[in-house]
Amino acid sequence: MLLWLAGAVVAVQAAPARSVLVLGDSLSAAHNIATEQGWVHLLEVRLGKMVPPWTVVNASISGETSLSGRKRLPALLAAHRPGVVVIELGANDGLRGLPLEQLRDNLAAMIDAAQAAHARVLLLGIELPVNYGPQYRDGLRAVYADLAKRKHAALLPFLLDGVALDPALMQADGLHPLAAGEPKVLENVWTVLQPLLHQ
């Protein structure tokens, strides 16, 4: 935004909008279900009823890794100037067995970029199947927990808590929720997102 003051043009940084940017993978992109059944859309409906309302920008892409999300985030921040950034990435890094240090570096860079744009950050953690072994699974958990503490970001340790182990709520692949599980996913997110909306 530009203001004219005494004949000079002065650039004024616009305040972050009442919008939530969700940067995620297939877990936030309504994989194999209708878009309006996904937790991000359900969040959009809920936030739209607030006074004044918040909007949601869902920039999630199935198959997204932390590296590709890191590359896309700066342009998204510039375009939307969100008040809150929700980062739901790392599942695809983990499923591919990528080095956890790379995940840590990418998530840290995304948190830094979002906070530099004056957005509050919520990290959504994920659990891997047990066949990945306790060392890697514990290491993945530690990445989210350590970054949240060090960077003063909000954290939901496990996005699919109460959903992942219920066959009635999960798709046949065992990785993605059915439409019936998405309201529970939203409630998980809401518990940690709601306080960020009032800061």
Q: Are 90 and 158 in contact (CB under 8 A)?
A: no
Residue 5 in any domain: the answer is no
Residue 20 in any domain: the answer is yes
Residue 189 in any domain: the answer is yes
CA distance 163 to 189: 13
SS3 state of residue 81: coil
Active site residues: 26, 173, 176
Radius of gyration of the chain from its Cα atoms, rounded to whole angstroms: 18
CA distance 74 to 79: 9
Residue 170 in any domain: the answer is yes
* Residue 15: pLDDT band with limits 50, 70, 90: low
CA distance 64 to 48: 27
Domain encompassing residue 90? 16-198
Number of domains the chain is built from: 1
Per mean pLDDT, which range of 1-10, 98-107, 166-175, 183-192 is the poorest? 1-10
- pLDDT tens track for 189-199: 999 999 999 87
Q: Are 55 and 19 in contact (CB under 8 A)?
A: yes
Q: Is the pTM of this model over 0.85?
A: yes
Residue 66 in any domain: the answer is yes
CA distance 119 to 19: 10
pLDDT for 7 beyond 80: no
Residue 2 in any domain: the answer is no
- Largest pairwise CA distance in the chain: 67
Q: Which CATH number covers residue 32?
A: 3.40.50.1110
Residue 53 in any domain: the answer is yes
pLDDT value of residue 199: 79
Q: Tell me the mean pLDDT in the region 128-132.
A: 92
CA distance 94 to 49: 36
Residue 60 in any domain: the answer is yes
